Each structure stands twice: as C-alpha cells, then as structure tokens.
Amino acid sequence: MTIALPLDMTDIKGFLAEDEAEALYNYALSLAERGPVLEVGSYCGKSTIYLGLACQQKQGVVYAVDHHIGSEEHQLGEMFHDPELYDASEARFDTFKEFRRNIRRARLEDTVVPLVATSEVSARHWQTPLAMVFIDGGHSLDAALCDYRCWAGHIMKGGILAIHDLFPAPEEGGQAPYAIYKLALASGLFEEIARVNTLGLLRRI
C-alpha cells in the first residue's frame, strides 16, 4: 500500500525502518475504527506520524506516551546521544519540542494526543480499551517490563501488540524488547501474527 505522506520522513529523526513503518500503518488502519492506538516511546514522532496518518483516515486517535527526556542510551556520552536534542541550558535531553514540530508539520495535531509522562504515571488510572499498542520505549529490562505490564492488559480482544527492536541473538542488539515479546507469548493472551524486520506483531486472543 502506498502511504500518502505529508512531509519527507527522512527529515525526521528516528530508528524505524520503512517496512516496519508500513506494517504499523497498515495494522493501525485496520484497527482504528475499533478503538484508540497507543504508542510508548515517541522520540521525535516518526512512528507517531505513521500511526497518526492511519488513524486520521478513520477519525481515530493516537495516544503518544513519552517523558521526552530520552532513554538511557540517549543521555550525554551514550551511544545514541544526539547533541541537537540536548538542551544545554537545562542540562537535559529533550525531544518534545522536535516531536511537536513534526506532528504539526504532518497536520496531525487533531489526531495525536501527547502524554508527556512515563508509562507508569500515564497508565495509573487508564480505563479505555486499546485497539493497538506499540512499545518502543526504554530498552533496559526494567523499562521494557514496565511498559508491557502497564499496557498489555488494556488491549482489547483481537487487538494488536507491536514491539520494536526484537533481536533474538544478543550480539545483534539489546534483549529487553525480545524478553517482553517472549513474555507476551508465554502469557497465553497473545498469538504471533507477523515479524517485519525487528518489529514483532501479536494479536490479543
């Protein structure tokens, strides 16, 4: 499926491959009429835009959960630190300004609802069933487990749990996303329906 993009996505910072982006878009498009989509880990909004464009067509909503101060790997001196996103005056990594700018450029301000907080805080009183959850937050085991435990139980039957950065072999990448993917399968609540590059897709049974 050809996605009508309102801007050049190569201009947007992020770590999402094209085939993964297309899969997120297609699954969100197929589910957006059933309920809202929620993502954990928006960074600068690349995945948010693909999810948002799908939901916009169905008058749906994307809740974008991110504290916007970066994961462990984004901090000063770490492997994925981007100095352009570091606010020296506050001595803090900050992606929210860039995220808002990209959502505005994509004309998705009436579709995307930013939740500028952790999963734990955002989920504390959450009641709304979700048609799709995309987890791409912090890659420490504690952070990934928290994201999974906060949101997996809110996915409606037939809904999708998508988890990014699955690397079964330790030498290929961090293991936390793969650990929660295996945890979801072992729970008996989800079945695997697709793997696209490093994106895993599970359906709530």
Query: Average of pLDDT values for 146-173?
Result: 95
pLDDT at 79 over 70: no
State residue 140's pLDDT score: 92
Q: Clarify whether 139 is annotated catalytic.
A: yes
pLDDT grade for 85, boundaries at 50, 70 and 90 = confident
Q: What is the pLDDT of residues 32-75, one digit of tens each?
A: 999 999 999 999 999 999 999 999 999 999 999 999 987 666 65
Residue whose tokens read 């995309």: 134
Domain encompassing residue 76: 9-204
- Residues 91, 155: Cα–Cα separation, whole Å: 37
**How many structural domains comprise the chain?**
1
Strands in 6-102 per DSSP E? 37-40, 62-65, 86-87, 92-93
Catalytic annotation, pick one of 67, 68, 139, 164: 139
Kindly state whether residue 4 falls inside one of the protein's structural domains: no
Query: Which pTM was predicted?
Result: 0.93
Query: Average of pLDDT values for 78-93?
Result: 71
Question: What's the CATH number where 53 sits?
Answer: 3.40.50.150
What mean pLDDT, rounded, does the chain reach? 93
State residue 86's pLDDT score: 75
Kindly state whether residue 1 falls inside one of the protein's structural domains: no
Q: Which amino acid is at 34?
A: R
pLDDT grade for 76, boundaries at 50, 70 and 90 = low
CA angle 32, 53, 138 (to 5 degrees): 85
Q: What is the pLDDT of residues 175-196, one digit of tens each?
A: 999 999 999 999 999 999 999 9
